[in-house]
Chain A
Amino acid sequence: NAGVTQTPKFRILKIGQSMTLQCTQDMNHNYMYWYRQDPGMGLKLIYYSVGAGITDKGEVPNGYNVSRSTTEDFPLRLELAAPSQTSVYFCASSSQPSGISTDTQYFGPGTRLTVL
């Protein structure tokens, strides 16, 4: 049981390049999330999904896109990389809202992205 896996671990992009951050979970969780963490800041929600085929914007969605074609995968796409997107990106998953049960979000190890 690997939990939540993210690839790549590190990436350097040039301004204007595009890339996809991969996220996979093997816990059959319906809910999946993408966060970014800037230095000295908390995690901010980019996009989330409540099930395959359903996605919605979080707090900071500009410059990103997501898709959810399967329960397991939730890739995050950066189309035109900008220096402001330099950050650490975390993917997370959960089985149901934490307000209902004691379940919580399980996080991947993160992807450190630098845009130069």
Chain B
Amino acid sequence: DQQVKQNSPSLSVQEGRISILNCDYTNSMFDYFLWYKKYPAEGPTFLISISSIKDKNEDGRFTVFLNKSAKHLSLHIVPSQPGDSAVYFCAAEGLMRAQKLVFGQGTRLTINP
């Protein structure tokens, strides 16, 4: 039962263009969503988050959009840079779940020069 799904295992984008990573969830009790970035041989690092009371959150080059009716969120990176090449994980949490995050499978983003 995969409650959080990232259906694209990989994505290749040219440097300077926009990268769009997608995530779908099935559990309507989720009310907080996070994106983590992971480089090889390192632990995931927090990138950006969004509460279910919002539909957009922006932080520099990174913007997360939430569509609650579609149970879908997306991460936009613009402009994409070579250092953005990493695996990106979407995660979701319900408020009463003591921050028990549920992760998607991850999407490997490659930025080509």
How long is the Cα–Cα vector from A66 to B15 in the complex, in angstroms? Answer: 44
CB of A104 within 8 A of CB of B49, answer yes
Q: Which of chain A's residues have a CB closer than 8 A to the CB of B99?
A: 31, 94, 96-99, 105
The residue on B at minimum CB distance from A107 is B43
CB of B98 within 8 A of CB of A48, answer yes
Interface residue? A109 (CB, 8 A): yes
**SS of B interface (majority):** loop
Number of A-B residue pairs having CB atoms within 8 Å of each other in the complex: 73
B27 to A: closest C-beta gap in Å:
13
A20 to B: closest C-beta gap in Å:
19
CB of B105 within 8 A of CB of A108, answer no
Q: Which of chain B's residues have a CB closer than 8 A to the CB of A58?
A: 100
B46 to A: closest C-beta gap in Å:
4
CB of A110 within 8 A of CB of B41, answer yes
Task: Identify which of residues 70-113 in chain B touch chain A, using a CB-to-CB cut-off of 8 Å.
Answer: 89, 91, 93-95, 97-106
The residue on B at minimum CB distance from A31 is B99
Interface residue? A90 (CB, 8 A): yes
CB of B46 within 8 A of CB of A42, answer no
Interface residue? A92 (CB, 8 A): yes
Interface residues of B (CB under 8 A from A): 4, 6, 9, 31-32, 34, 36, 41-46, 49, 51, 89, 91, 93-95, 97-106
Interface residues of A (CB under 8 A from B): 4, 31, 35, 40-45, 48, 50, 56, 58, 90, 92, 94, 96-100, 102, 104-110
Name the 4 nearest CB pairs between A and B, nearest first.
Answer: A107-B43, A42-B103, A99-B95, A104-B46
